[in-house]
Amino acid sequence: QVQLKESGPGLVQPSQTLSLTCTVSGLSLTSNSVSWIRQPPGKGLEWMGVIWSNGGTDYNSAIKSRLSISRDTSKSQVFLKMNSLQTEDTAMYFCARSHYYVMDAWGQGASVTVSS
Amino acid sequence: DIQMTQSPASLSASLGETVSIECLASEGISNDLAWYQQKSGKSPQLLIYAASSLQDGVPSRFSGSGSGTQYSLKISGMQPEDEGDYFCLQGSKFPLTFGSGTKLEIK
């Protein structure tokens, strides 16, 4: 069955770069798109960006200057990198299989705290 | 960006009660709307897409409707397992934008 799993450091220092990995199974990244979504503690969801099945990307304009999404299809992995982290970037970060806005399989989430 | 105004922010319902959650888009979104349920400490799960299409495996007591800028999610007969947070998501234009969420509890 389709599975996604996020991994990465739980703690990042302010101004540093966040690197997260989404490892997928049961699906091919060359025929499926993957979105990243984040959720600050006790708050709502924010769509961050998507990597399409053809390798193209789209980003939320609010964070586009800091964000990069890439992939390694041979390893079934999607990567998120976001620089210049601040405390307001503290959140649970999810990856999800996406058919545009229809996200039918989600990872468990990776908790990221930005603190010195 | 398209703004999604979701209401109510919180809702308390008795078992068996029918509840509705609304999302109002700042412009027409042509039924490109999905509803997600998120239980405490879990990742969101897809309930409805294309405004009214039920995702496989989702109980038929969930239904979606709407058009243009106004959309709603209805739960016909509240069950204990329906407690959680509900979010709408518009997919008409990038960036995709979520509603602010509705916390649904058992009365």
pLDDT tens per residue across span A56-107:
999 999 999 999 999 999 999 999 999 999 999 999 999 999 999 999 999 9
Q: Which of A46, A47, A94 sits opposite B43 (nearest CB)?
A: A94
- The average pLDDT across A22-38 equals 97
Mean of pLDDT values over B61-67: 98
pLDDT at B70: 98
- The beta-carbon neighbor of B49 closest among A35, A37, A102 is A102
Q: In Å, how far from its chain's centre is CA A14? A: 19
* pLDDT confidence tier of residue B91, bands split at 50, 70 and 90: very high
What is the per-residue pLDDT for B103? Answer: 98
State the average pLDDT over residues A21-38.
97
Contacts of A62 (CB under 8 A, 6+ apart): B95
pLDDT of B24: 98
Whole-number pLDDT of residue B101: 98
What are the residues facing A6 on neighbouring strands? A22
pLDDT confidence of B92, banded at 50, 70, 90? very high
DSSP designation for A73? G
Picking from B43, B89, B98, the nearest residue to A108 by CB comes out as: B43
Q: What is the mean pLDDT of chain B?
A: 97
- Structure token pair of residue A14: 């302010």
φ/ψ (deg, to 5) at B86: -125, 135
Alpha carbon distance A34, A12 (integer Å): 24
Whole-number pLDDT of residue A60: 97
Average pLDDT, chain A: 97
Average pLDDT over residues B49-58: 98
What was the pLDDT predicted at B77? 96
Q: Does B1 contact A44 at a Cβ distance shorter than 8 Å?
A: no
Cross-strand pairs, B13: B106
Q: Model confidence at B21, in pLDDT bands (50, 70, 90)?
A: very high
The closest of B37, B39, B40, B42 to B98, measured between CA atoms, is B37
Judged by CB atoms closer than 8 Å, whether chains meet at A106 and B100 is answered as: no
Coil/strand/helix, residue B100: coil
CA B16 to chain centre: 18
At B81 the three-state DSSP class reads helix
B1/A109 CB distance under 8 A: no
